[in-house]
């Protein structure tokens, strides 16, 4: 079993909280997530980060496997356009996420469960806000589908 699949399998997926896997670029989004923690920006603890050297290395089968393994949502977070350390990896990832959403729609799965965001290393607060918004969206989708979730957790807004 490869490292990413192992990390996905090890996530504790609870019935109450939606499980969200965030595939993050090492140089930008992962650094932004780390900065969010350093700045004490709160985001839901059910967002499980999997670090990638570049989101351009993320294949569609890994995203689909995360969903098959029980993730309620998959967030792909890479460098901003023009800021990729591997030239066009983030743009490649955006195309793959778009294609993944098409495949999900054709299979009858809500494509809103997968999302791509571009976050620079210096945008810790943006990472935290993105994680909160995506979690709220997944809560709503889970409730529409008749999930067990009662209501999303309320986190205080950061006033920094």
* CB environment 79-117: b (16+ within 10 A), e (fewer): beeeebebeebbbbbbebbeebbeebeeeeeebebbbbb
* 47-52 sheet: strands from edge to edge: 47-52, 20-25, 73-78, 114-118
Name all domains of the chain by residue range, CATH numbers in brackets: 18-144 (3.40.50)
pTM for this model (two decimals): 0.84
Say if residues 155 and 132 touch (Cβ distance below 8 Å).
yes
What is the pLDDT, as a whole number, of residue 147? Answer: 56
d(C-alpha 83, C-alpha 89), whole Å: 10
List the one residue out of 40, 41, 27 whose CA is nearest residue 77.
27
Mean pLDDT, residues 62-91: 93
pLDDT in tens, 104-114: 999 999 999 99
Q: What share of the chain in percent tops pLDDT 90?
A: 74
pLDDT greater at residue 158 or residue 138: 138
d(C-alpha 160, C-alpha 141), whole Å: 30
Mean pLDDT rounded to a whole number for the chain: 86
Residue 142 confidence class, pLDDT cut points 50, 70, 90: confident
d(C-alpha 115, C-alpha 134), whole Å: 8
Q: Would you give the distance in Å from CA 148 to the centre of its chain?
A: 21
pLDDT in tens, 32-73: 999 999 999 999 999 999 999 999 999 999 999 999 998 999
Does the pLDDT value for residue 30 go beyond 50?
yes
């Amino acid at each position: 079993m490869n490292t990413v699949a192992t990390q996905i399998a090890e996530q504790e997926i609870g019935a109450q909280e939606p499980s969200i896997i965030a595939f993050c670029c090492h140089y930008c989004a992962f650094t932004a997530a780390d900065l969010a923690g350093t700045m004490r920006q709160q985001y839901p603890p059910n967002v499980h980060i999997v670090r990638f050297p570049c989101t351009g290395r993320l294949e569609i089968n890994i995203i689909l496997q995360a969903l098959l393994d029980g993730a309620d949502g998959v967030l792909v977070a890479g460098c901003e356009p023009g800021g990729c350390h591997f030239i066009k990896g983030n743009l490649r990832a955006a195309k793959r996420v778009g294609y993944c959403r098409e495949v999900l729609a054709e299979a009858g799965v809500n494509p809103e469960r997968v999302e791509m965001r571009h976050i620079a290393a210096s945008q810790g607060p943006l990472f935290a806000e993105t994680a909160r918004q995506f979690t709220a969206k997944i809560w709503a989708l889970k409730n529409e589908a008749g999930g067990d979730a009662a209501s999303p957790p309320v986190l205080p807004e950061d006033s920094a």
